[in-house]
Structure formats: C-alpha cells, structure tokens
Amino acid sequence: MARRNNFSVTGVLAALGVCTLALSSCATDGSELGLTAGEPRAVVGAHSIDEAAANAAEISGVLLLSAGQCFELSDPEGQPALLIFPSEAHVLSDGWPGMKIAGEEFRVGEHLSIGGGFHQLTDMDAEAVEKCQSSGEAFMVQAIPRHTAEPAGT
C-alpha cells in the first residue's frame, strides 16, 4: 500500500511563516533568489557585496519600484533592470522606500551607479520573483551603489 502525504493549508502556511521569519526572504526550490516580506519588496540573492566581482558591469539610472513593488533601476532610455540585492541588504519602508546596504541608504527617485553583473533569470528564478511584475533584465548588485549627479534636463 502506497503512503500518501497530506499537507494541510495550516502546515504550509506555518512553513512559509518560518521561512519568512528566519530569513526575511524565501526562494522557490531550485532558485537562489527570494523576496523580502511586505511592500516594497526586494529581490535578494545568495551573494554578498564583492568589490572584486563588481568590475564586470556597471549600470546607472534612477531607483524605481516596479508595478509589483520591487526595486528596479531605470536607465536613461527608460529600460528597467530588476535589481537583485545581496543578502545583507535591508528594505527601508519608513515613508520613502529605499534600500540600506553596508550602512548606506538609497531611496526611490535617486540617481545611482551600481557595480555588478547582469543575470539571466531561469524559469525557477522567474517563478521566485513573479510578484515583482518586472520586465527587462535582472542586475545582480555586487558593489555598493553610488549616488550620481542628476542627468541634465530632468
């Protein structure tokens, strides 16, 4: 006789709650990406700030929230890039949304220059971050963002 596993809704919700409390973000099986709880939300990856790895690419633009309330960087042409923050980043939701990384705060609407690298989302990654409702590429933040001068004409 085959054994049948019965999972109750309460059990599943309890497991999700533990995941959220323990890590402040959860990933789906097969993905190293997760979302922080609440809104705004940040996509967090299993990586840390790494200045040596930050030389691969750099993007500049305005820190924004996607339709799904996730952090993105919009380049001067208006193309968004979903940001994947390091595990030590924290969401700031004290009235003006932003992120705190290594003691530095970055708020929505600010112009930033970020070091890191572009990341192709796998199907499992896309499922893990589907609440973001983002379009465009994903960018893995590996160097602390720098505030930049506001572009001319804005």
Three-state DSSP state, 132: helix
pTM value is: 0.75
Strand 90-92 relative to strand 57-65, pairing: unpaired
Divide the 154 residues of the chain into consecutive groups of 10 and give the mean pLDDT of each group: 34 31 42 90 86 71 95 90 93 91 92 90 91 88 82 49
